Structures are given as structure tokens and as C-alpha cells.
Amino acid sequence: MSSVVIHDPTLRDGQHAVRHQLGVAALRGYAEAADAAGIPVVEVGHGNGLGASSLQVGRAAVSDDVMLSTVREALRHSKMAVFMLPGWGTSDDLRKAVAHGADVVRVGAHCTETSLAERHLGLLREEGAEAHCVLMMSHMATPAELAEHAARAVGYGARAVGIMDSAGHLLPQDVTDRIGAMAEAVDVPLIFHGHNNLGMAVANSVAAAGAGAAIIDGCARGFGAGAGNTQLEVVVPVLERSGYATGIDLYALLDAAEFAERELMPAPPVTGSLSIVSGLAGVFSGFKHQVLDQSARAGVDPRDVFFELGRRQAVAGQEDLIVDVVAELSARKAAT
């Protein structure tokens, strides 16, 4: 069998679904369960990464320092990972994360703006951390463009590079084309991180592995923004049946998923109407709460907001654009 490394961002990406309110007991409990299952890498943090706790995107229940120290203590075998977006996190945040024992540090960048990650990837190389670069909103770039930016990221110091289907917009052939092009351009492990807006996250993950991805992301019960992420306890056995060894204990994985459903989330994510619309529109699922809140106050249809954001090619970090779109739609409604 070929093998893939499973990377579990339940304690980071899942934060979006609960407005970043996971506390110490939840963090520790899930980290222990994931470690017992043999999940190779467990990622933790605010949903938007290091340094992102703020009024704009939501304050976390506990600080980055507390999150990292709690999970580090709970992991006896698994590596600990963190995520950082330039503009939210800083070089100091990266140094602190490494000091807390982060084994893997992912730097995110919009799919055509890899240069924004150059300084941070260089710093991580100097610090001796395993630096990864993930290209976000990957449906907005062609396979050739993604291959070019993957090569740049490796040149900056990334030891793995990959794509996030941040809006859950891609179909399996789209994933195959993108990962395949990147595999021809770089000789480091490739990453795929899927979202389930159109119900394709598991299929897309298998397609990614078939095209050469060696690192596949998944969250317990799909815990994540909107329709959620690739469902971890589903994708692992599906990958195993497809010929990819993960090294994860199935029963312990299912136990971890049950803990997550019981202790981390009010309910597992579903592919609801608004998630489908955001996937079709190609808009980041993490906008869901802000879109719902702003639309309700203004009395406009949140589906219209998502499609307008898609037309404007809104990306993570442009949450302020939601206010502008809602105001314009409200004005149009009042004028009719």
C-alpha cells in the first residue's frame, strides 16, 4: 500500500463553528483522544490561526499560549501543528509557537499571493521548524498558476505545500488537475484540505491522494465552518480501502469522533442551503456567521449576499466587505 499522513485540524478549523470558544477541557480531551488513535498531526489554534483573536473575526475563549501549552502536554505521540495567516499572525507569534513545541507550522496565503509567506517561511527555516505552505481559495487559480506558486513556496523554505478548497467549490477532477500539476512542479509532500459545501470533501480527498498528495486533512465529524471539513473518521477508512495506509486505529478514531460530537460541538455540521450557496459562489465558509448576522439585521437574503461576495471574489480577511454588500443589497431592496 501507498501511505498518506493524516493532518487533523479539528481543534483549529473547528473553532469557526463555535465562534472560537473551545476551552481547555475540550482541547485537552480531544488531543488525548486523537493521540490515542495514532493521528500523526494535531493542529490547534484560533480558527484564523495564530494572533487572530480579535473583535473583527471573534475573540477566542483562551489565548494562543494556553491553547498550545494545553495540547502540547496532551500529545505523547502525535505532532502538534499550528496555522498562521500573514496579517493576523506575526514573526513573534511564530517564534512563540515553536517555543511551545509546535512541530509543524503552516503558513497560509491566498493562492496567487505566495510572496506574502516568504518572510515567515524563511523565519521558520531558521528556527528549524517543519514549515508548510497552504494555498487558500484554490478554485480561484488554474492548475498551472498553483504549480508556479507551489514552486515559489518551496523556494522560500516550505517543506510541504498544498491547497485548501476553502469554499468547498472543487470537484474531484478539479482536484486531480491541480494536485497533478503541482506534483510535476515540486518534489516535496503535497497537501489537500477539503471543505464539504457540495458534499465532495471525501471524494476530493481520495482524488488528491490519487494525484500524488501525501498529506490529507480531516476533522472529527467534519467539525468546521459552514458545511464543515472533510470528515476524518470517514476519509481514513475510505483511504484505507482505496489502498492508502494511514497507521490510524479505527476504533480509537471512532472514539475520538464521538468525543468531538459530545464535547466540542452543539451538533455536527450539515450541508445546508447556505453552505451549498457559499460553495457554488466560491466564498469562504468562515463568512457564514457574519453573513447571517448582518443579513438578519438588514432584512436581506443571505443567499444573495453570498452570491454577491462570490462575484466580487471575496477572500478570507475581507470580512468588512460583508457589511458593504449587505448595505448595498438593503438599499436596493428599499428602492424597489
Catalytic residue numbers? 16
Residues forming beta bridges with residue 195, ordered by sequence position: 229
Altogether, the residues listed in the chain come to a count of 336
Q: What is the amino acid identity at position 243? A: G
Phi, psi dihedral angles at 96 (to 5 degrees): -65, -40
Q: How far is CA 62 from CA 50, 105, 249, 299, in A?
A: 12, 20, 30, 34
Which ranges of the chain would DSSP assign to H, the alpha helix? 10-13, 24-37, 64-74, 91-99, 118-127, 143-156, 172-185, 201-211, 232-241, 250-263, 273-281, 288-298, 302-311, 320-335
Per the CB < 8 A criterion, the answer to whether 209 and 180 are in contact is: no
- Helices vs strands, H then E, count in the chain: 14, 10
